[in-house]
Amino acid sequence: MSVVAAPRTSTEPAWLADVRLRALRRVLWCRELWEQNRYVGEDGLAISHSEVELALLSREQVAFSESKFLAGDEHARRLTTELEALPEDARWTELCSELELSAPEQAVLALALAVELVPALRRVYGYVQNDTTPLEATPALVADLWNLASPPRFGADSALVRWALAHPVEGGAGPLSSSTGWIADPLVLDHLLAEGKTRVLGPHARPVPLPGEPRLHQRELDDIVRFVEAVSDDGRRPLEVELVGPSGSGRTTLAAQAAARLGLELAAVDARGLSALAEPEAAARRELRAARLSKTALVWGHAEALPEPALDAIRDGARLSFFATEQPSAGGNGDAIRRSYAVPALTRAERLRLWHAGPGGPAPEPVAEWALRPAEIETLAQVAAAGDEAVREVCRHLLVEAPHELLSPLAQPYVWDDLIVAPQLAGHLREFEAQARARGEVLDDWGLARLTPLGRGVTALFAGPSGTGKTMAAQVLARSLGVELYRVDLAGVVNKYIGETEKHLRAVFAACERSPVMLFFDEADALFGRRMQVNDAHDRFANIEVDYLLQRMEEFDGVAVLATNRKGDLDAAFTRRLRFTIDFAPPTVEERERLWRWALEDSADADGKALVGDVDWSALAHELDLTGAGIKSAALGAAFLARTDRKTIGTDHLIAAARRELEKEGVVVRARSAEVAT
């Protein structure tokens, strides 16, 4: 069967046609050469005479004979004409130019990619090199097909290796050997075979769409663009823009806005996926190669997870990289120029703009007042149609983490009408609620955040004797504000070992920094006591704990309530840093009567039958000097006594239960008090 030049199909890329046509010409020449030098009767020889003689010919002799044959043979001339008429392949030209491939590198890559598309070509490669086994692309084959004086060498510094385009066959004679086979990365074909202006990204990259309005973090965006434009003119050292902030804070959005201003597309790669691979460096190079060819910048999410070899590969192959991380990087950056930007939290106005750009309409309270991030607002926008209560519940799940081991949730069964305190105290508590609810509007919309540079939180001290309603007030406030209430386990927080108390406090505040919760420190004097004169090392470290607390409370952005029945034991420097100091006093006679009535007056069983008989509430209030907690406890005790007697709750039950409450405090009930029962 004679070899003829088949017409090139319209779907065949020019680089593949180039390989095929060169192989066809070589086949013609090999057959001619073998036929000319063939000895009669050598078929049975393991190594034929003609093979030996051909191997001993000088390269110049073979090249001269081949040139003469190609010029004189009709089929060979037709193949040469077709080779010279091949059109330019735009994507192949772009790849070779962008990745700066030399002519020999282009040749070996074309050979290696050809067998990925047409596996049968491996047998052709063996055939034209007079080998009976299928072969990969080799430097020797490149020299034969492209008529080079000697086989090229491709070392570790080759662009083939730098861009992970191809790698030597394992177990071969080494990358510099002319007989070593090279295997192409099949992912290169994704770019070469894509149609039109299709952007082909790496296997771990996802495109980042250009965000619309409103633009966030405008100041940081402008600064990033100015920095890159001013420094990139150098072109000799890679640029790195580090975006520091928590997940969902808009780091990727900021990178996309910057890339768009710089005339680039953006794609995101999660560095954690690369770190789990056996060869993260090669994986990083593939991502860089695809990004480079598609004129795309990369933002590396969770950049702190990048292995050192992968980071070196990025710096070797990228002109501009964005790194999204939660903490600023430490240590040197090699030859790279890195600048770090802290992504600021959204202001109230920015949160409202995001909401209005999405679902629109009045923003629910969590959007306006809670410290939400852009990604969280986007999530809430998807449930906006379900109503504000659904938005609040979804937001609660987004922000409230599983309770920390040092936090315990408190129920919130009470409302404002249940809180029986003096009018002045009630007004003070209402003021506390108003500041906690409206701080976003006042600090952000009114521009007064400059007056609280350290923190935006609202903290209060509830001081007064036990049982005067401090815990209940916290429960009422938390319910009214629509936040969870957590009691801090002081026994777990305070630790005798140096530094452990600060560590525990740091964990508590971190768990509640953005969550819609109220922290409740009961018996806070155990933790926030007076700083003492330093007599030994323990005193010194105890003072360090108090100093840390002072600092951390000032920086806290949430709502915190501290309760104590020993206000005088608290450090004066600490109380000055609190927004509110609210004193709880024992109830007056009028308040005690209201408390008794609130506890029992309207009580009824499941059938609607009244549980309380004829009781002189005023007499109880005058004769029994109980706190609010004591009255509630006495009311419950009286109910159990009445249940035992199978009667309605009467004054005698109340007196007996109250006597027990007073005896707990070491108070003996006066004889006159007993007369209330008669």
63 close to 70: Cβ distance less than 8 angstroms: no
| Whether the predicted pLDDT of 675 surpasses 60 | no
What is the average pLDDT across 632-646? Answer: 92
pLDDT of residue 4: 46
Cα–Cα dist 460/561, whole Å: 5
State in words which class domain 589-677 has: mainly alpha
- CATH code at 205-342: 3.40.50.300
Q: Is the peptide bond before 104 cis (omega within 30 degrees of 0)?
A: no
Contacts of 270 (CB under 8 A, 6+ apart): 204, 301, 302
Return the residue matching tokens 């360090």. Answer: 544
Residue type, 215: R
Cα–Cα dist 9/375, whole Å: 50
pLDDT in tens, 119-164: 999 999 998 888 889 999 999 999 989 988 889 999 888 999 999 9
What is the average pLDDT across 225-241? Answer: 84
Counting residues of the chain whose pLDDT is more than 70, the rounded percentage is 86
What is the average pLDDT across 264-277? Answer: 92
Lowest mean pLDDT among 264-278, 590-604, 657-671: 657-671
| Whether the predicted pLDDT of 618 surpasses 70 | yes
Give the H or E element holding residue 301. strand 296-301
pLDDT of residue 476: 96
> In Å, what is the CA distance from 490 to each residue of 226, 328, 494, 528?
50, 33, 6, 11
CA within 13 Å, CB half, 515: 20
Cα–Cα dist 314/202, whole Å: 14
- Altogether, the residues listed in the chain come to a count of 678
pLDDT of residue 42: 57
pLDDT of residue 207: 94
**DSSP-derived pairing of the beta strands 559-564 and 517-521:** parallel
Task: Write b or e for each residue in 565-594: b if 16 or more Cβ atoms lie within 10 A of its Cβ, otherwise e.
Answer: beeeebbeebeeebbbbbebbbbeeebbbb
| Whether the predicted pLDDT of 488 surpasses 80 | yes
| CATH number, domain 408-583, options 3.40.1640.10, 3.30.110.70, 3.40.50.300, 2.60.40.10 | 3.40.50.300
Task: Write b or e for each residue in 631-666: b if 16 or more Cβ atoms lie within 10 A of its Cβ, otherwise e.
Answer: bbbbbebbbebbeeeeebbbbbbbbbbbbebbeeee
Q: What band does 276 get if pLDDT is binned at 50, 70 and 90?
A: confident
Q: What is the domain partition of the chain in residue ranges?
A: 14-192, 205-342, 350-398, 408-583, 589-677
- In the numeric block, which tokens belong to residue 558? 């949430």
Would 205-342 and 589-677 be classified into the same CATH topology? no
Output DSSP code: residue 362: S
pLDDT of residue 5: 47
- CB neighbourhood size of 318 (10 A): 21
The rounded mean pLDDT for the chain is 84
Cα–Cα dist 72/76, whole Å: 8
3-state secondary structure of 486: strand
